């Protein structure tokens, strides 16, 4: 009975998580369309720059929504670690779309820094208020989210709310003071800020794809801890990688004395796995070597 209750609770939470991301996706997509039209109407490169950002957000939200459903698929004969790594493909697609769009914005906005054009400041102000309200609704919907997808989306949308607050202040200033160069400068700042973060995301995605050791883990520290806290004589051939940036995996060889008893061996395996899992590594593969094997020099 207890098992069924836990499963039902998990399914209910999963449904809430998916529903929250779905709501955020449709709100963001609707506002992106409004924003593109508003940017053209007000002749504001700052708003068009943010529209590009929001389009990237919409794609991210769509991928997050799809993956929230797709992630229910467990390991099978084709994908023995499950389907989590498909999220990296979505991250790459979104990142490259944002880079391409940002370059297009830069090509158009840089000449306007030197040759500013008049903008509709009151229109910008109205769209900024709308941006804060719509993105704010999505943020409120996601603020109590428990899943990783919800937390990532929450901070992404929170960034949008802050961006609109900046545009609100700039448009209010331009209503009273005629400084149209403020718009392209703001657009330039938003675009460079987006590119800075996208570059970091792309670097992180490639590190995961090429099976780099996660930033928060150290092979040397883990090997030293195993030797210090268990009856393992030495550790070698340790590999740590991540499926999608959250789920980490480890494989290693531990060397035990030749005369160790079976029950001791089982205890040591459990101790080592508990130490490793305490560091947030959920899948652990241990190879048992014996002291007389000289496994390190034979690369077994």
- The CATH number given to whatever domain includes residue 283 is 3.30.70.1350
d(CA 152, CA 157): 9
The bridge status of strand 248-256 relative to strand 281-290 is: parallel
Q: Give the pLDDT confidence score for residue 276 in this predicted structure.
A: 94
Task: Output the domain CATH number for residue 153.
Answer: 1.20.1510.10
Residues 119 and 260 in one domain: no
Both 227 and 252 in one domain: the answer is yes
Do 15 and 93 lie in a common domain?
yes
* End-to-end C-alpha distance for the chain, whole angstroms: 46
So what's the pLDDT on residue 15?
46
pTM of the full structure? 0.68
169: its two tokens: 């202040």
* pLDDT at residue number 71: 62
Which residues lie across from 255 on neighbouring strands?
A: 234, 289
C-beta neighbour count of 140 within 10 angstroms = 11
Residue 291 lies in a domain: yes
Task: Give the domain-ending residue among 166, 181, 209.
Answer: 209
Same domain? For 35 and 137 the reply is: yes
Residues spanned by the domain of 272: 219-298
Q: Are 134 and 264 found together in one domain?
A: no
Q: Are 240 and 194 in contact (CB under 8 A)?
A: no
**Residue spans of the chain under pLDDT 50:** 1-15, 148, 298
300 to each of 38, 167, 238, 252, how far by Cα in Å?
64, 61, 13, 11
Task: Report how many domains make up the chain.
Answer: 2
Q: Are residues 116 and 149 in the same domain?
A: yes
Q: pLDDT of 25-34, one tens digit each?
A: 788 788 888 8
Q: What is the CA radius of gyration of the chain?
A: 26
Q: Would you state the structure tokens that stand for residue 34, as one six-digit string?
A: 């409004």
67 and 37 together in one domain: yes
- Would you say 63 and 79 are in contact if contact means Cβ atoms under 8 Å apart? no
Burial (CB < 10 A; 0-12, 13-18, 19+), residue 107, is exposed
Same-domain status, 277 and 194: no
Closest of 279, 284, 191 to residue 229, by C-alpha: 279
Q: Are residues 292 and 155 in the same domain?
A: no
Query: Does 274 map to a domain?
Result: yes
Check if the beta carbon of residue 63 is closer than 8 Å to that of residue 29: no
Instruction: Provide the pLDDT for residue 12.
Output: 45
Instruction: Give the residue from 166, 182, 209 where a domain finishes.
Output: 209
**Does residue 214 form part of some domain?**
no
Longest dimension (CA), the chain: 86
**What is the structure's pLDDT at 225?**
94
């Amino acid at each position: 009975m207890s098992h069924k209750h836990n499963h039902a609770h998990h399914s209910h939470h999963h449904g809430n998580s998916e529903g929250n991301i779905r709501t955020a996706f449709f709100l963001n997509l609707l506002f992106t369309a409004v924003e593109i039209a508003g940017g053209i109407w007000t002749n504001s490169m700052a708003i068009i720059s943010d529209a590009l950002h929001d389009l990237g957000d919409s794609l991210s939200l769509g991928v997050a929504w799809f993956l929230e459903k797709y992630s229910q698929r467990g390991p099978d004969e084709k994908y023995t670690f499950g389907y989590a790594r498909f999220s990296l493909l979505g991250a790459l697609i979104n990142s490259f779309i944002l880079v391409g769009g940002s370059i297009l914005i830069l090509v158009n906005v840089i000449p306007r820094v030197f040759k500013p054009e008049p903008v509709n400041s009151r229109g910008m102000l109205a769209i900024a208020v709308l941006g804060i309200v719509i993105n704010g609704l999505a943020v409120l919907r996601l603020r109590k989210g428990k899943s990783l997808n919800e937390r990532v989306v929450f901070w992404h949308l929170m960034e949008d709310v802050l961006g609109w607050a900046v545009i609100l202040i700039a448009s209010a200033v331009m209503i009273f003071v005629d400084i149209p160069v403020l718009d392209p400068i703001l657009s330039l700042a938003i675009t460079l800020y987006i590119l800075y973060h996208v570059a970091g995301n792309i670097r992180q995605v490639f590190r995961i794809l090429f099976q780099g050791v996660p930033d928060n883990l150290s092979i040397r520290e883990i090997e030293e801890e195993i030797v210090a806290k268990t009856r393992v004589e030495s550790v070698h051939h340790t590999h740590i990688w991540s499926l999608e940036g959250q789920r980490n995996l480890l494989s290693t060889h531990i060397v035990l004395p030749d005369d160790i008893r079976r029950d001791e061996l089982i205890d040591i395996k459990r101790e080592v796995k508990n130490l490793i899992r305490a560091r947030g590594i959920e899948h652990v593969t241990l190879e048992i070597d014996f002291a007389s094997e000289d496994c390190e020099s034979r690369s077994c």
